Structure 1
Amino acid sequence: MTTSAKPEGPGGASPQDGYVKVCALEEIPGDGALGVEIDDTPVVLARSGGDVFALNDICSHAEVSLSEGEVYNGTIECWLHGSCFDLRSGKPTNPPATQPVATYKVKVEGGDVYVSLGDD
């Protein structure tokens, strides 16, 4: 399931800190993933070891949705060819993928998950 998030604020403008509320924490399965879309960007939210991570939801090898894969040992596995990506860095940990996927900043406040697609 993919949900869509739009920036909150007057006239749809992004919040000043650049974060967008995307879902409630409870919507992301423990040690699992949830696909969302933020301003037309596909994002996978993954929970691992109690932390939440956000990465681009498109595998850099086969261009399929990573949110349909499994989360384990701090990685998310592409369901099609088995490439795994480190949740912290987005770097592939095994072939056939050789290129990383983008990672995004995440914060959890009051039971809600916020993501920033912007640079630091």
Structure 2
Amino acid sequence: MDWQDLGEARTLAPGEHLVAGLPDYSVLVVNVDGTFHAVENLCPHDGGELGGGLIEGDRVTCPRHGACFNLRTGEVLKPPAFEDLLRFEVRVENGRLLVATQPKASD
């Protein structure tokens, strides 16, 4: 598996997020209570960028039509979206925040 270095993990404090461009995906990375989670940055309903939406705890709301997703699982919590988000593995290695360049396989 290939990993992309997103910089020093300590710069992304709890409650903060960043959007990273990977070779094939745009990914939203969020620090939820000290644990990093990454999901595809596009709403499956109509392609709205989730990084511009409301992020509260472990939930993100699409700014276009209000679909809501769980950042830990990628699960859709509120329509109009009915498809879960792709998730990406995240790890911290030697203080660096790394994200997998391809989505996780379905659980």
TM-score interval w.r.t. the shorter chain?
0.7 to 0.9
Q: TM-score, normalised by structure 2?
A: 0.83
State the 1:29 CA deviation. 4.9
Does 2:37 correspond to 1:49?
no
Runs of 4+ in 1 over 4 A off after TM superposition: none
Q: Which structure's relative contact order is higher, taking Cα pairs within 8 Å and 6+ residues apart? A: 2
2:47 corresponds in structure 1 to 63
Aligned residues: CA RMSD: 1.8
Letter in 2 for 1:107: R
Pick aligned residue for 1:82 from 36, 55, 66: 66
Q: TM-score, normalised by structure 1?
A: 0.75
Percent identity for Structure 1 against Structure 2: 24
Instruction: Name which one, 1 or 2, has greater alpha-carbon Rg.
Output: 1
Task: Tell me the alpha carbon deviations over residues 90-109 of structure 1, each in whole angstroms, 9 at most, x when there is no partner.
Answer: 11111111111100100012
Separation (CA, whole Å) in 2 of partners of 1:78 and 1:28: 21
State the 1:31 CA deviation. 1.0
Matches within 5 A, 1:12-23: 17-23=1-7
Matches within 5 A, 1:1-120: 17-116=1-100, 117=102, 119=104
Separation (CA, whole Å) in 1 of partners of 2:57 and 2:86: 19
Q: Are the aligned partners of 1:48 and 1:72 in contact in 2 as well (CA < 8 Å)? A: no
Structure 1, unmatched stretches of 5+, are 1-16
SS in 1 for 2:21: strand
- Number of corresponding residues: 104
